[in-house]
Amino acid sequence: MTIRIYNTLSGKREPLKTLEPGHIKLYVCGITSYDYCHIGHARSALAFDMIVRYLRYRDYKVTYVRNFTDIDDKIIARAKEQNCSSDELAKRFIDEFYIDMDKLGIDRPDIEPKATDHIAEMTEIIGELIDKGIAYQAGNDVYYVVDRFPEYGKLSGRNLEEMKAGARIAVNEQKHNPMDFVLWKGSKPGEPTWDSPWGPGRPGWHIECSAMSRKYLGTTFDMHGGGKDLIFPHHENEIAQSEAANGKPFVTTWVHHGFVTIRDEKMSKSLGNFLTIRDILFHYHPEILRFFVFSTQYRNPLDFSESAMQDAASGLERLYKCVAGVEDLDPDSGVEEAQTVLIDGDKIKIGSMEERFQNAMDNDFNTAQAQGIFFDSVKAINRSVKNLPTTPARTDIVFLKSGVTTLKKLADIMGLLREDARDFLTAIKQQLLSEITIDETVINTMIAERNQCRIDKNWVRSDEIRDELLANNIELKDGPTGTEWTVKKS
């Protein structure tokens, strides 16, 4: 099977092709660091983390570059508000970004260039564009001549005439054409500034990525990613800059992920409807957020809500409970001579898990379908464990344990089931416990009293205690090894 990926450039799912056999060069647009990251940023980082991990699992070598935009109008404005330098502000939020990424268990890309470290590479490209007559200096700024790039609009499916007609961009006297975009901005007093052949200034946003991708991945590379909102103008402009400067195709496959929405509206700072990553991680285990993010295919919108997070938590718990159950099985309790009790249908489901997972993931990284396969396999594993006799066949135990090993290996590609199952279930319990009023020692005292009542067959009092605990969101579970309790989700 080959991996098929939706390419924004062609509008179709295409078999993955690489310029060098077995090697994928990937560039992803990272954050502009001027504030804490919200869940939308988390989705972006998670999506490409999953993609890179899957490609590596499929034996591709991946060179993954993700940049930081650390110079930009918003950074300058925010730094002014906070009375610090834009450099300090950008550095601070890069540190905060790493804190969030580490908590989410996201691997670092291979290369993480910062815009301010690559000014020379940017002025070099701008110079090349000016030499080719594709850029012009106007006042202290340098602009790109959109009319000189005939393929402008090929990524976003627009044409220049329509865009000019509907242009909503503020009129800028300096520009020859309203669609021309800035490559170099002359500096205003008090702004960070770098020297250039066109006077002191700073780079425009789009040129960063053209310069840094060329430095680290070459003039033509395999894959470029980002959010759907970057298709126009950012990625369109990158193509225009890079292809005009290099005279070569820029990127083979463009990968764009969907937004996180709240009540079906895009999460954004201007609407004020965003939640930061740390807001979420305050209430939920990081794997719950990951599970939630991967419950939908990466290109579709993902609507955030408390109830969706609760559903995700319940689902993930189900997976962990299965793992815990199988890990509790003692291989020494199995005997060679016992007959298998596994039914064929379950054996097939468990045995084909990896192949089915690959089919789902090969189809444009369909994590939603892949999660379905996890659950389908878990159902088969749970059913098999349930049917195990007191002296089970050793082969059955070995088979189920290998099923769980496979499950964990595959789930790890989405960053799931990385924790020890018992620890995870305990951590979830503690998290929920911290949000209610009852104390753990009180619970244990009440359980002890209830168990005495149960021995005495005082069912009335025993049920009273259980109801009391339930009123405090504590649910009891009487098992062969004693009474366990869980915090009921409200």
SS3 447: helix
- The CA distances from residue 204 to 119, 208, 390, in Å, are 11, 7, 70
Whichever of 74 and 80 has its CB closer to RNA, that residue is 74
Work out whether 296 is an interface residue with RNA (CB under 7 A): yes
Whichever of 84 and 476 has its CB closer to RNA, that residue is 476
List 295, 329, 416, 474, residue binding RNA (CB under 7 A) = 295
Whichever of 19 and 299 has its CB closer to RNA, that residue is 299
List 155, 360, 428, 432, residue binding RNA (CB under 7 A) = 360
Work out whether 390 is an interface residue with RNA (CB under 7 A): no
Q: How many CB atoms lie within 10 A of CB 241?
A: 29
Whichever of 126 and 312 has its CB closer to RNA, that residue is 312
CA dihedral of residues 449, 452, 458, 459 (deg, nearest 10): 70
Q: ∠ at Cα 242 (32, 187), nearest 5°?
A: 50
For every residue of 225-259, which 3-state class applies, written as one string? EEEHHHHHHHHHHHHHHHHHHHCCCCEEEEEEECC
Using CB atoms within 10 Å of the CB of residue 112, give its burial: 0 to 12 exposed, 13 to 18 middle, 19+ buried.
middle
SS3 66: strand
Whichever of 212 and 302 has its CB closer to RNA, that residue is 302
List 17, 95, 131, 167, residue binding RNA (CB under 7 A) = 167
Tokens standing for residue 245: 């400067």
Q: Least distance from C-beta 378 to RNA, angstroms?
A: 7
List 479, 481, 482, 490, residue binding RNA (CB under 7 A) = 479
Evaluate whether 287 touches 278 at the Cβ level (below 8 Å): no
Helix residue spans in 85-235 (DSSP H): 86-104, 119-131, 160-165, 205-217
Whichever of 338 and 476 has its CB closer to RNA, that residue is 476
Q: Least distance from C-beta 250 to RNA, angstroms?
A: 17
Q: Least distance from C-beta 297 to RNA, angstroms?
A: 4
- Beta strand 23-28 with 221-227 is parallel
Work out whether 482 is an interface residue with RNA (CB under 7 A): no
Whichever of 247 and 295 has its CB closer to RNA, that residue is 295
Site stretch for RNA (CB under 7 A), options 121-129, 137-145, 247-255, 477-485? 477-485
Mask 192-231, x = binds RNA (CB under 7 A)? -------------x--------------------xxxxxx
Q: How far apart are CA 34 and CA 74, in angstroms?
A: 7
Work out whether 321 is an interface residue with RNA (CB under 7 A): yes
Residue 254, beta-bridge partner list: 224
Q: How far apart are CA 78 and CA 470, in angstroms?
A: 49
Site stretch for RNA (CB under 7 A), options 277-285, 313-321, 398-406, 421-429? 313-321
List 140, 359, 406, 473, residue binding RNA (CB under 7 A) = 359
Nearest to 319 by CA among 307, 330, 329, 327: 327
Q: How far apart are CA 126 and CA 142, in angstroms?
A: 8
Mask 17-56, x = binds RNA (CB under 7 A)? ------------xxxx-----x-xx-xx------------
Whichever of 245 and 370 has its CB closer to RNA, that residue is 370
Whichever of 11 and 150 has its CB closer to RNA, that residue is 11
Total residues at interface with RNA (CB under 7 A): 89
Whichever of 25 and 349 has its CB closer to RNA, that residue is 349
Q: Least distance from C-beta 15 to RNA, angstroms?
A: 10
Nearest to 22 by CA among 2, 44, 46: 2
Residues 82-121 that bind RNA (CB under 7 A): none
409 φ/ψ angles, rounded to the nearest 5 degrees: -60, -45
Q: How far apart are CA 367 and CA 373, in angstroms?
A: 10
Evaluate whether 446 touches 472 at the Cβ level (below 8 Å): no
Q: Least distance from C-beta 247 to RNA, angstroms?
A: 26
Work out whether 368 is an interface residue with RNA (CB under 7 A): yes
**Integer Rg of the chain from CA:** 28
Work out whether 187 is an interface residue with RNA (CB under 7 A): no
Mask 442-471, x = binds RNA (CB under 7 A)? ------------x----x--xx--x-----
List 83, 307, 434, 441, residue binding RNA (CB under 7 A) = 307
Site stretch for RNA (CB under 7 A), options 50-58, 106-114, 142-150, 475-483? 475-483
Q: Least distance from C-beta 269 to RNA, angstroms?
A: 7
Tokens 């025993």 -> residue: 462
Q: How far apart are CA 250 and CA 390, in angstroms?
A: 63
List 232, 334, 406, 409, residue binding RNA (CB under 7 A) = 232
Site stretch for RNA (CB under 7 A), options 54-62, 192-200, 439-447, 476-484? 476-484
Tokens standing for residue 91: 């550095």
Half-sphere exposure of 166 (CA within 13 A, CB side): 5
